[in-house]
Structure 1
Amino acid sequence: MRTLLRPGFVALCLALGLTLAGCTSSGDCDSPYAGSPQFKGCLFANPPNPDTPPGAGTWTIWSRFVFASKSGTVPVDAIPVRPLTTAQLEALDPQANHVVRLGHSSHLLKLRGRFWLIDPVFGERVSPFSFAGPKRFHAPPLALQQLPPIEGLILSHDHYDHLDVPTIEYLAQRVQRYFVPLGVKARLIEMGVPAERVQEFDWWQGATHAGVQLTATPSQHFSGRSLTDRNRTLWASWALQIGEQRIFYSGDSGYFGGFKQIGERFGGFDLALMENGAYDAYWPAVHMTPEETVQAFADLRGKVLYSVHNSTFDLAFHPWQDPLNRLADLSAAKGIELATPEIGEVLTVGQPRSNRRWWVGLK
């Protein structure tokens, strides 16, 4: 069949198959992570969640990506981007905490005067190949070379839309400290990051660096970067405490009881960066619908709901505006303070702002 001969077919299976339904491998039980409660049967695993609806099988998902048609998943009009300069970033109040949306789940943070990155992806594609796979809708608001000195870099898991080789290779010696889930350290070392700069965490483990208290918290997802390494590394959400303010980052996750547990343990969050995109009934366990995102936000006891994981890459079958429209409508109906910042927009935690539905009217 001609579809199987398309150059992007293998890349598509690898890039999107990893995000949705990779293969498993028995692995070697002689592992330094064998003591982790999340390490079971020689691989990392999610706790049981009987409330998760059943999903489709691996072949069904892959076949759909290869043969099914899509509609409206890629914007026709330009996504608005606010260009940033190093001078603008340096001018941000060093006594406050700021979050800058770079696109998808990538964020630059200025926390009490020092800069951090979360899941930075500056590459053109989220794929094992530079010539094929999901391509970004817009340029980043600033180039890698324009980034200020980075104090810390936080990773949620090792999928290509969160762990980007060209980005990490450029930043390898330019970041003071990396904070990653169990097993991801080896990935970074392969990309040129000095081993002594990387610290690994199991769920509920934490550290303090440059005035920021970090805790790796649970999420319901999976990991892998090839067809044979599924769940060889752990995935996580993150809780950050900076002075009196708390920020939560969900990473990628399906809805599960862990959100309520996190909310109870930390007593709520001033800002919650919540996954909102790439969901589908075929894979309900690993990504949340907007309705589930709102419920997870309530479980976390959040004050401001900040939408991430959308508007940059085509990773599912829903129209690209769907996560934003549904979340905005739900938030308005429930009286939730919502943040859907434009790419490059700066949000200052605890400061009033006017939210705008920037995507309305775009095709």
Structure 2
Amino acid sequence: MATSTSPADNASTPEASRQAQGQYRNHVPVKREGFRKTLRIIWNMIFHKPRDTRPSTPVPVQTLTQAALIAAPNHSVYRLGHSTVLLKLRDKFWITDPVFAERASPVQWAGPKRFHQPPISLEDLPPIEAVILSHDHYDHLDYQAVLKLADKTQYFLTPLGVGDTLIKWGIDASKIRQLDWWQSTEVGGLQFVATPSQHFSGRGLFDSNSTLWASWVMIDGDTRIFFSGDSGYFDGFKRIGEQYGPFDLTLMETGAYNVEWPHVHMQPEQTLQAHIDLKGRWLLPIHNGTFDLSMHTWYEPFDRILALAWERSVSITTPQMGEAFNVMYPQRGRPWWLGLDGVSDPMVPQNA
């Protein structure tokens, strides 16, 4: 197992991950659904989805070019889709959970299909200093994307075990740094800390929780960015905020939630509270707008988190896919989903 890590500051206080019988565990036990409930959830996802879980009109995308990215200022942040975010820091590029596949699925002839094309192709991306991976689910770890990024990427930062998967795929072990919760590593002048999340892992029937899941703290001098990966709401957000906050920007899971799986994905109200726990300054909701992974309408996560942020006076930004957001000069962006498929402003009464 390739590693290059050092303990995070005060790492003796927080707990590292733990294994039992070869499986990683959350700090607080998460209820595992029984076979009958799992079968019912799958049945409903296939046969009883409501309308508008996918947009019927094109999702707006701002096309990116390599030349424009290279000319962009530092601290620029771009959503490429779902939880894939490209960041420019210290004149280098960093990317989270790069998924460019047409479907978030083990096969490309079935499964959740993209709403939109990525703003830039894998081939046109500039050289990547590090790929930051949160866990091994198909909507976060894309086999073909990893292989295509291998030659232009200096490092792959992963939770424990995920790096071993990359090595099996043929990625050079010297490029991989695997971290336990609360461990840190330095790449290109930035510090990265693998922090806990409350989730699970697995890419098949027989590898449940055999690899770790994580959120990530990114520290660039005085600038701090948090990437949530996937997580249910738990007290870990407050601990991360106490240890590493305040954060200039939080990239927070806001989508593909369901009352049937409350422990591993957050409702928008919990996303907002997690951002507050982290002592976040600006919230950028991710994990939405690209794949149909739950039962809610495709635009509901945007509507709900925007309304909640306004109610709590939380600074929130909702850039289009491919639209630049600068951490040093933040702006709210436009609610670009309004008007698509007849979506109306949730803050305006329908009879207004």
Q: Is TM (by shorter chain) over 0.5?
A: yes
Picking from 8, 25, 28, the partner of 1:48 is: 28
Question: Which whole-Å CA distance do the structure 1 matches of 2:285 and 2:46 have between them?
Answer: 29
Closer/same/farther in 2, CA of residues 72 and 254 from structure 1, 3 Å limit? same
State the TM-score, normalized to the length of structure 1: 0.87
Asked if 1:73 corresponds to 2:45, the answer is no
Picking from 234, 258, 263, the partner of 1:280 is: 258
Please state how far the C-alpha of 1:192 moved relative to its aligned partner.
2.3
Map of 1:159 onto structure 2: 137
Map of 1:31 onto structure 2: none
One-letter identity of the residue aligned with 1:186: D
Asked if 1:268 corresponds to 2:246, the answer is yes
Question: Which whole-Å CA distance do the structure 1 matches of 2:135 and 2:270 have between them?
Answer: 21
Map of 2:295 onto structure 1: 317
Please state how far the C-alpha of 1:54 moved relative to its aligned partner.
8.9
One-letter identity of the residue aligned with 2:151: Q
Equivalences for residues 268-347 of structure 1 within 5 A: 268-347=246-325
Equivalences for residues 103-122 of structure 1 within 5 A: 103-122=81-100
Alpha-carbon displacement from aligned partner over 1:142-171 (angstroms, at most 9, x marks no partner)? 111100011111000000000001101111
The question of whether the paired residues in 2 share the 8 Å contact of 1:49 and 1:256 is answered with no
Long gaps (5+) in structure 1: 1-34
Closer/same/farther in 2, CA of residues 362 and 335 from structure 1, 3 Å limit? same
The question of whether the paired residues in 1 share the 8 Å contact of 2:17 and 2:25 is answered with no
Map of 1:4 onto structure 2: none
Closer/same/farther in 2, CA of residues 37 and 327 from structure 1, 3 Å limit? closer
SS in 2 for 1:228: coil
Please state how far the C-alpha of 1:131 moved relative to its aligned partner.
1.0
Asked if 1:352 corresponds to 2:327, the answer is no
Please state how far the C-alpha of 1:48 moved relative to its aligned partner.
1.6
Question: Which whole-Å CA distance do the structure 2 matches of 1:333 and 1:202 have between them?
Answer: 37
Closer/same/farther in 2, CA of residues 62 and 345 from structure 1, 3 Å limit? same
SS in 2 for 1:342: coil
Asked if 1:169 corresponds to 2:147, the answer is yes
Map of 2:37 onto structure 1: 57
The question of whether the paired residues in 2 share the 8 Å contact of 1:54 and 1:284 is answered with no
Alpha-carbon displacement from aligned partner over 1:153-197 (angstroms, at most 9, x marks no partner)? 100000000000110111122210110000001211232211111
Question: Which whole-Å CA distance do the structure 2 matches of 1:78 and 1:66 have between them?
Answer: 23
SS in 2 for 1:189: helix
Please state how far the C-alpha of 1:92 moved relative to its aligned partner.
1.2
One-letter identity of the residue aligned with 1:315: L
Equivalences for residues 178-197 of structure 1 within 5 A: 178-197=156-175
SS in 1 for 2:40: helix
Please state how far the C-alpha of 1:59 moved relative to its aligned partner.
2.3
Closer/same/farther in 2, CA of residues 312 and 194 from structure 1, 3 Å limit? same
Please state how far the C-alpha of 1:311 moved relative to its aligned partner.
0.3
Closer/same/farther in 2, CA of residues 38 and 57 from structure 1, 3 Å limit? farther
One-letter identity of the residue aligned with 1:152: A
SS in 2 for 1:57: helix
Report the number of matched residues.
326
One-letter identity of the residue aligned with 1:176: Q
Question: Which whole-Å CA distance do the structure 2 matches of 1:53 and 1:176 have between them?
Answer: 37
SS in 1 for 2:298: coil
The RMSD of aligned alpha carbons is 1.8
Question: Which whole-Å CA distance do the structure 2 matches of 1:342 and 1:242 have between them?
Answer: 25
Alpha-carbon displacement from aligned partner over 1:68-105 (angstroms, at most 9, x marks no partner)? 23321000111000001111101112xx3121110000
Map of 2:71 onto structure 1: 91
Picking from 204, 222, 232, the partner of 2:182 is: 204
One-letter identity of the residue aligned with 2:180: D
One-letter identity of the residue aligned with 2:232: G
Closer/same/farther in 2, CA of residues 249 and 37 from structure 1, 3 Å limit? closer
Equivalences for residues 119-130 of structure 1 within 5 A: 119-130=97-108
SS in 2 for 1:263: helix
SS in 1 for 2:340: coil
Map of 2:11 onto structure 1: none
One-letter identity of the residue aligned with 1:65: M
Question: Which whole-Å CA distance do the structure 2 matches of 1:227 and 1:117 have between them?
Answer: 29
Please state how far the C-alpha of 1:222 moved relative to its aligned partner.
0.3
Alpha-carbon displacement from aligned partner over 1:221-262 (angstroms, at most 9, x marks no partner)? 000000111100000000000011000000000000000000
The question of whether the paired residues in 2 share the 8 Å contact of 1:173 and 1:194 is answered with no
Picking from 124, 135, 138, the partner of 2:116 is: 138
The question of whether the paired residues in 2 share the 8 Å contact of 1:53 and 1:284 is answered with no
State the TM-score, normalized to the length of structure 2: 0.89
Question: Which whole-Å CA distance do the structure 2 matches of 1:226 and 1:54 have between them?
Answer: 17
